[in-house]
A = this chain, B = another copy of it.
């Protein structure tokens, strides 16, 4: 049975009944095992699929897709199911195609640094693999221990080192994709440059599983830095954060690999969290915190750059306090503060997550505006016991103009949602920002695209969707092109 996909389904699922008898040897697992695939990790979105398929190859998936296509069966592709917008779980009874059984590294070119692998490989596993050859994955995010590279590509994940290594639109070299009708695009080129015709792979990057299912990824990996340094600063204002960013860019230049900010409310939630204990690196509280990471090829030079930066920052009075990690353990401890934000907030209550792009100078205005809005709606600042909102936290990637604003509440409640939406979307649209910087549209923002895109573009998207998925079977109910 090894050579076939694992099918988890209740016996009566429509797909199973249509699978030809020679495919009936696929494993059929019990209904209670399906829960894990029906619900997202935040517990916010839940579907009712009775059939989960785990294909082992593009060819096998092709056969499955063809059957679904012929029988008008809707499909939801699923990677590590770490998404934040309800994009990777079914809404009703769509078949879930989970890629976790496609987890092999296909090839790695040690001269060129190009990796070809299955879509179901876990990001951290890949990073460990290429580390052995002196390379690193060009993206990093909190969910790296469980997210799949195929999901990263389908969602156009950004993450912590976007500032240095750029977008997946630049680093993905090729994709293998199974289309809704079962056709396979065998596009796993490893070439850094290829101008022969329309660059189709770009369409799948960020398409959130609406055009086809990515089964293989070819990606350029940058050389792994020999020296990594990490500092954390305490600052008095968001204005100081911006000025610090300017100074850091000047002194660190090409070795800057991350510049993250965390506001006091978010920082305090992590410090007080019972999920994981963190040592507060600062003796005094600050209004803003910043993490600055450098990655370079010459330790001595990087030390000196960081030293010059610290001197300038302290002399100018831009920062109130700062710590410099002295070893790998301290680096991990400081990064953990940033990376454990989602979990710590999640432990506090149910979390409304917004992920927006804004002009850098206006980023923090939104956090202040949201707090005010919650107070106006009397869900914050009434009394600690009664408040429906438990915390409003702002953090994110300054260099990318990418703010994460998280509102922890007593539950997913209409009063809270009505206060936040469309308020946040309208604010973002008013400054020509994006209502989804990196999380995607998913189910959460499927009908909100108009806040960030013009009508001509939206119409083009719908027509492209029909080119690949004329029956609208892939990830229906989500992402605008499927819904209209």
Q: Which residues of A are at the interface with B, using a C-beta cutoff of 8 A?
A: 109, 111-112, 155-156, 158, 162, 166-167, 169-171, 179, 183-187, 189-200, 202-203, 205-207, 211, 223, 225-226, 242, 246, 249-255, 295-298, 301, 304-305, 357, 359-361, 399-402, 432-441, 445, 448-449, 451-454, 456-458, 460-461, 463-465, 467-468, 479-481
| B454 in contact with A185 (CB, 8 Å) | yes
| A185 in contact with B463 (CB, 8 Å) | no
- Note all chain B residues with C-beta closer than 8 A to A186: 454, 456
Instruction: Give Cα A251–Cα B171 distance, bound, in whole angstroms.
Output: 23
Given contacts A171-B170, A304-B301, contact A481 B195 (CB under 8 A): no
| B193 in contact with A158 (CB, 8 Å) | yes
- Note all chain B residues with C-beta closer than 8 A to A360: 111-112
- Note all chain B residues with C-beta closer than 8 A to A434: 189, 191, 193-196
How many copies of this chain sit in the oligomeric assembly? 2
Given contacts A155-B195, A189-B432, contact A464 B461 (CB under 8 A): no
What's the minimum C-beta distance from A463 to chain B, rounded to whole angstroms? Answer: 5
- Note all chain B residues with C-beta closer than 8 A to A251: 297
Instruction: Give Cα A440–Cα B305 distance, bound, in whole angstroms.
Output: 41
- Note all chain B residues with C-beta closer than 8 A to A445: 196
For A437, the closest partner residue in chain B by CB is B193
- Note all chain B residues with C-beta closer than 8 A to A301: 298, 301, 304-305
| A436 in contact with B195 (CB, 8 Å) | yes
| B460 in contact with A254 (CB, 8 Å) | no
* Besides the known contacts A179-B456, A254-B295, 13 further A-B residue pairs in the complex with CB atoms under 8 A apart: A158-B195, A166-B170, A169-B170, A169-B199, A189-B432, A191-B357, A191-B433, A197-B441, A197-B449, A198-B207, A223-B253, A301-B304, A460-B468
Instruction: Give Cα A460–Cα B466 distance, bound, in whole angstroms.
Output: 11
Instruction: Give Cα A252–Cα B439 distance, bound, in whole angstroms.
Output: 35
What's the minimum C-beta distance from A401 to chain B, rounded to whole angstroms? Answer: 6
Can you name 24 A-B residue pairings with CB atoms under 8 Å?
A162-B192, A167-B169, A169-B170, A169-B199, A185-B460, A189-B434, A193-B402, A195-B440, A196-B434, A196-B449, A197-B449, A197-B452, A197-B461, A197-B480, A197-B481, A198-B203, A198-B211, A198-B481, A199-B205, A200-B457, A203-B203, A223-B249, A253-B298, A301-B301
For A166, the closest partner residue in chain B by CB is B170
- Note all chain B residues with C-beta closer than 8 A to A225: 253-254
- Note all chain B residues with C-beta closer than 8 A to A441: 195-197
| B461 in contact with A198 (CB, 8 Å) | yes
For A168, the closest partner residue in chain B by CB is B170
| B242 in contact with A437 (CB, 8 Å) | no
Instruction: Give Cα A301–Cα B307 distance, bound, in whole angstroms.
Output: 14
Instruction: Give Cα A69–Cα B146 distance, bound, in whole angstroms.
Output: 50
- Note all chain B residues with C-beta closer than 8 A to A255: 254
Instruction: Give Cα A457–Cα B201 distance, bound, in whole angstroms.
Output: 9
| A438 in contact with B195 (CB, 8 Å) | yes
- Note all chain B residues with C-beta closer than 8 A to A304: 298, 301
- Note all chain B residues with C-beta closer than 8 A to A249: 223
| B479 in contact with A199 (CB, 8 Å) | no
What's the minimum C-beta distance from A462 to chain B, rounded to whole angstroms? Answer: 9
| B460 in contact with A195 (CB, 8 Å) | no
| B439 in contact with A195 (CB, 8 Å) | yes
For A242, the closest partner residue in chain B by CB is B111
| B156 in contact with A357 (CB, 8 Å) | no
Among A296, A360, A457, A458, which residue has the most Cβ atoms of chain B within 10 A?
A457
